[in-house]
Amino acid sequence: MSLLHPQRGVALITAVLVVALAVIAAVSVLDAGHFSVQRASTLQDSVRAWGYAAGAEDWARTILERDAKNNQHDSLDEIWAEPQSLPTENGGISGEIIDALSRFNLNNLGLADNQDALPGFQARDGVPVTEYLRQVRIFESMIRQLADASELIPNPRELADSIRDWIDEDQFPTGNGREDGDYLGMEPPHRAANRPMSSVTELKSILQALYGDRDNLAGKIYALLLPQVTVLPVDGVTPLNINTVTAELLMSLDSTGNNTTLATFAEERLQQPVESQADITTRLQLAAQDADPVVISFKTNLFQLRLQAVDGDGRVALYSLLLRPGSGNVVTVTRSTDTE
């Protein structure tokens, strides 16, 4: 009898182990099934969210096409400028259309050296004013209009030159700009793009090359500039729409620095937008060189669509650049799910 007790104990332990393993296997199977069902559900929600986003982009194009038929200027009192939201059964869609010409195009600073002096401009420090220098003046003036900018960016020209060097194809620094040698010493090392910027996020690399990581200075400057700048895939200089441009950029459009009419216009343009090129010169009292259509417009053909679509666990953020040519038929130029 004494020999049977150990055998019974071993049998009991074996049975317990078998049951435990069976329970573990069953739980694993159930968990795997649950995760598979959850993944399938999330994927289904994401597909529906994508469908909502695509439909919202189609709606935005339709709104812009209708707007082109009804007016000859673009301003913030029009229906396309109103943020929109629409609830759905399991989520919703929200978004806004922004005039792409309401912000300074950083690619305007990537102009070639061999440009003729602009007529009507007096030389600055003996240097003829070219289109690049005109764009630099607007960029510098915009920065000076920003709160805390003088402390964060003591030398705006250095930043403008560095943006130009990021874009141009040579390895010769412009003024105090930055070229490959400065970027190769970063972590991780890389080179200047040597092409027009395709995303505003490229500005982060330029700022890090200029200011490093001390006190997150590059991040603070990026956050300061982000609402004021954009990147547009357009050959040549893009103008600024005076009806929609940011307040800081609006005040920077006068090269004389003493135009008080712009401040008044900033307060009344929602009710009384500019509707013609002649209106820019007479009503805003801008000098001829400042009212140049190369620099200032009263309408736009490029719009940025930002929207978010949510359905259950599916979320889609969509950033689209929409082109409205003279024909009025709006097409999508670029589309991103990461950033504008």
Confidence of residue 124 (pLDDT cuts 50, 70, 90): low
Secondary-structure percent of the chain, ordered helix, strand, coil, rounded to 5: 45, 15, 40
What is the layout of strands, in order, in the sheet containing 84-88?
Answer: 84-88, 91-99, 302-311, 314-323, 331-336
Q: What is the pLDDT of residues 182-214, one digit of tens each?
A: 888 888 888 989 999 999 999 999 999 998 877
Q: Is 38 helix (H, G, I), strand (E, B) or coil?
A: helix
pLDDT of 45 reads 75
Dihedral sign computed on CA atoms, order 137, 238, 294, 281: negative
State mean pLDDT over 44-70: 88
pLDDT of 280 reads 87
Least confident segment among 3-7, 119-123, 189-193, 257-261: 3-7
Between 70 and 138, the more confident residue is 138
Query: Burial letters for 142-164: b for 16+ Cβ neighbours within 10 Å, e otherwise?
Result: bbebbeebeebbeebbbbbbbbb
Share of the chain above pLDDT 90, in %: 45
Do 219 and 128 meet the contact criterion of CB atoms below 8 Å apart?
A: no
State mean pLDDT over 282-295: 86
Amino acid at the residue 199? S
Confidence of residue 60 (pLDDT cuts 50, 70, 90): very high
pLDDT of 229 reads 96
The angle at the Cα of 336, spanning 301 to 235, to the nearest 5 degrees, equals 40
Of 49, 43, 38, 58, the closest CA to residue 90 belongs to: 49
* 295 Cβ contact partners less than 8 Å away, ≥ 6 residues apart: 134, 138, 237, 239, 240, 253
Q: What is the pLDDT of residues 18-50, one digit of tens each?
A: 777 776 766 666 666 555 555 555 677 788 888
Confidence of residue 57 (pLDDT cuts 50, 70, 90): very high
What span, in angstroms and rounded, lies between the C-alpha atoms of 184 and 152? 24
| pLDDT at 94 > cutoff 90 | yes
DSSP symbols for 289-313: TTT-TTTEESS-SEEEEEEEEEETT
pLDDT of 114 reads 58
Cα–chain center distance at 161: 21
183-192, long-range: CB < 8 A, 24+ apart:
183/209, 192/165, 192/166
Q: Which two tokens stand for residue 2?
A: 């004494």
What span, in angstroms and rounded, lies between the C-alpha atoms of 303 and 61? 10
